[in-house]
């Protein structure tokens, strides 16, 4: 194996695999011809990294392995793998100087090694994918060049063997393990103007998002402004044992979200939310509004709540990217959450 190749096991938490894996589950349930392409190793400059997944069906593909130049050939091979009920292995090497100087290069100069997995050939995969899509822990794929493979998420597991075509590359490595952690979760408290652009932006980045809005007219305004889906709103959440809250408060359950955004545009609702959040070990709490709003809220919150909130509270929430209005604010909040998720120095 070349020194620059990514090694396994790999924790692949970049990008948004949830969109591809949801499409994969939908294709399985619909009985469509489908294969999942999984990037196993990369070297040099590539559009993807190891752990990237793309679904190929006879209706097209979901996700990308390149800027569009490689997909037609990969799709052809993926459909062959489906027809043969066999694992297929592709090595895509775009480091060739001859291609560069003959104007045939695809843009990136790197190497990708990919497996094509026909989904219908391994019964029970859908249940494992559904487990991960519900946010239940880490999804693991274990794979061997001889054709043995297994999917696991929490207590849901399926394993078996498929016919395997020969590897397109040499070397001694014949086993891989890739892990996709549960997608990060965020609860948005309040359906203000920023929620309309922020909801699809965060979901597109791979966050699991729940919006909690107790005011009916605010829910109606938001639902009329964008496509949300049936689970976009929640009035209340099951309470944690022993945690008492007010009649209009959000009720929290375990597991708690990774982040909460307090954005009611209402001082009393924000105060109530912050007082609850002070007792909960949620690492990222964002408060919409200027710094003066935080100062005013801290004047009426109990001192112990202020002490608990201060190390975790981003106020005003969002990076200083410039611009005004809901769209600019939504972009700044999404950027800060992404920076925090990936521990970008000085940005979270």
Q: What is the CATH number of the domain that holds 254?
A: 3.40.50.720
Is 289's pLDDT higher than 50? yes
C-alpha span between 240 and 256 (Å, rounded): 10
Q: Is the pTM of this model over 0.85?
A: no
258 shares a domain with 168: no
194 with 233, same domain? yes
With beta carbons less than 8 A apart as the criterion, state whether 125 and 158 touch.
yes
- State residue 47's pLDDT score: 67
- The count of structural domains within the chain is 2
Residue 71 is assigned to a structural domain of this protein: yes
Question: Residue 331 falls within a domain, yes or no?
Answer: yes
Looking at residue 328, its pLDDT comes to 95
Last residue of a domain, one of 127, 145, 180: 180
Distance spanning both ends of the chain, measured CA to CA: 36
CA distance 319 to 306: 22
* Whether residue 152 is found in the same domain as residue 210: no
Looking at the structure, tell me whether residues 105 and 191 fall in a common domain. no
* Token digits of residue 67: 């800027």
What would the pLDDT profile of 290-328 be if each residue is shown by its tens digit? 999 999 999 999 999 999 999 999 999 999 888 889 999
Q: Does one domain contain both 115 and 189?
A: no
**Tokens coding 336:** 């800060």
Chosen domain end from 158, 180, 202? 180
Q: Do residues 195 and 156 share a domain?
A: no
pLDDT of 278 higher than 60: yes
For residues 126 and 328, give the distance between their C-alpha atoms in angstroms, rounded to a whole number.
39
CB atoms closer than 10 angstroms to residue 13: 17
| DSSP code string of 86-115 | EEEEEEEE---HHHHHTT---S--EEEEEE
Q: Is residue 226 part of a domain?
A: yes
- Over its C-alpha atoms, the chain yields an Rg (Å, rounded) of 23
What confidence category does residue 277 fall into, taking pLDDT thresholds of 50, 70 and 90? very high
Residue 203 inside a domain? The answer is: yes
Q: Are residues 59 and 124 in the same domain?
A: yes
Q: Are residues 234 and 276 in the same domain?
A: yes
**Is the domain of 223 the same as that of 288?**
yes
Q: Lowest-confidence range among 59-63, 93-97, 139-143?
A: 93-97
Nearest to 87 by CA among 40, 65, 51, 119: 119
Structural domain boundaries enclosing 274: 185-341
Asked whether residue 39 falls in the same domain as residue 115, the answer is yes
pLDDT the model gives residue 139: 92
Q: What is the pLDDT of residues 111-128, one digit of tens each?
A: 888 899 998 888 889 999
Is the pLDDT reported for residue 15 higher than 50? yes
* 348, part of any domain: no
Q: Is residue 96 part of a domain?
A: yes
Instruction: Please report where in the chains the tokens 């410039």 appear, as a residue.
Output: 322
- The answer on pLDDT for 8 being more than 50 is no
Asked if residue 1 belongs to a domain, the reply is no
Tokens of 214: 């107790």
Same domain (yes/no): 127, 192? no
346 within a domain of the structure (yes/no): no
**DSSP state at residue 156:** E
Average pLDDT of the residues in 270-284: 93
Cα–Cα distance between 332 and 318 in angstroms, integer? 4
* Structure confidence at residue 217 (pLDDT): 83
**Number of Cβ within a 10 Å radius of residue 340:** 18
Please indicate, yes or no, whether residues 44 and 59 belong to a single structural domain of this protein.
Answer: yes
Query: Is 80 exceeded by the pLDDT of residue 332?
Result: yes
Task: Write down the pLDDT at residue 13.
Answer: 52
Task: Show which of 154, 180, 206 is a domain's final residue.
Answer: 180
pLDDT above 60: residue 4? no
* Average pLDDT score, the chain: 80
User: In this model, does residue 252 exceed pLDDT 80?
Assistant: no
- b vs e for 152-172, b when ≥16 Cβ sit within 10 Å of the residue's Cβ? bbeebebeeebebbebeeeee
Q: Which residues contact 226 (CB under 8 A, 6 or more apart)?
A: 196, 199, 200
Q: For residue range 176-226, list pLDDT tens digits in order.
A: 998 888 888 899 999 889 999 999 999 888 888 988 888 888 877 776 544
> Percent of the chain, pLDDT > 90?
41
The mean-pLDDT minimum among 16-20, 41-45, 78-82, 225-229 falls in 225-229
Tell whether the model's pLDDT for residue 43 goes beyond 70: yes
Q: Residue 234 has what pLDDT?
A: 38
- Which of the pair, 2 or 167, is modelled with greater confidence? 167
Q: How much is the pLDDT for 88?
A: 92
């Amino acid at each position: 194996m070349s020194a620059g190749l990514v090694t396994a096991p790999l924790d692949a938490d970049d990008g948004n695999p949830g969109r591809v894996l949801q499409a994969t589950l939908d294709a399985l349930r619909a009985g469509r011809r489908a294969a999942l392409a999984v990037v196993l190793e990369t070297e040099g400059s590539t559009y993807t990294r190891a752990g990237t997944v793309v679904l190929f069906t006879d209706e097209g593909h979901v996700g990308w392995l390149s800027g569009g130049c490689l997909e037609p050939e990969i799709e052809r091979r993926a459909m062959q793998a489906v027809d043969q009920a066999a694992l297929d292995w592709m090595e895509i090497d775009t480091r060739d100087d001859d291609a560069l100087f003959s104007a045939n290069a695809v843009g990136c100069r790197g190497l990708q090694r990919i497996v094509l997995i026909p989904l219908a050939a391994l019964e029970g995969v859908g249940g494992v994918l559904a487990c991960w899509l519900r946010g239940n822990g880490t999804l693991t794929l274990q794979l061997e060049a001889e054709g043995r493979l297994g999917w696991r998420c929490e207590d849901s597991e399926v394993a078996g063997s498929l016919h395997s075509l020969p590897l397109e590359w040499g070397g001694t490595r014949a086993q891989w393990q890739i892990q996709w952690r549960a997608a990060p979760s965020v609860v948005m408290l309040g359906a203000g103007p920023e929620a309309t652009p922020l909801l699809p932006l965060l979901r597109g980045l791979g966050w699991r998002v729940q919006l909690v809005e107790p005011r009916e007219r605010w829910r109606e305004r938001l639902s009329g402004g964008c496509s949300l889906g049936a689970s976009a709103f929640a009035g209340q959440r099951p309470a944690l044992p022993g945690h008492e809250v007010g009649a209009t408060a959000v009720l929290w359950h375990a597991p708690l979200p990774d982040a909460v955004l307090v954005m009611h545009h209402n001082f009393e609702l924000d105060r109530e939310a912050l007082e609850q959040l002070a007792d909960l070990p949620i690492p990222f709490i964002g408060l919409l509004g200027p710094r003066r709003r935080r100062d005013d809220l801290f004047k009426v919150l109990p001192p112990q709540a202020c002490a608990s909130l201060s190390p975790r509270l981003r106020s005003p929430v969002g990076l200083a990217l410039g611009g005004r209005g809901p769209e600019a604010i939504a972009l700044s909040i999404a950027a800060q959450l992404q920076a925090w998720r990936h521990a970008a120095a000085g940005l979270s």
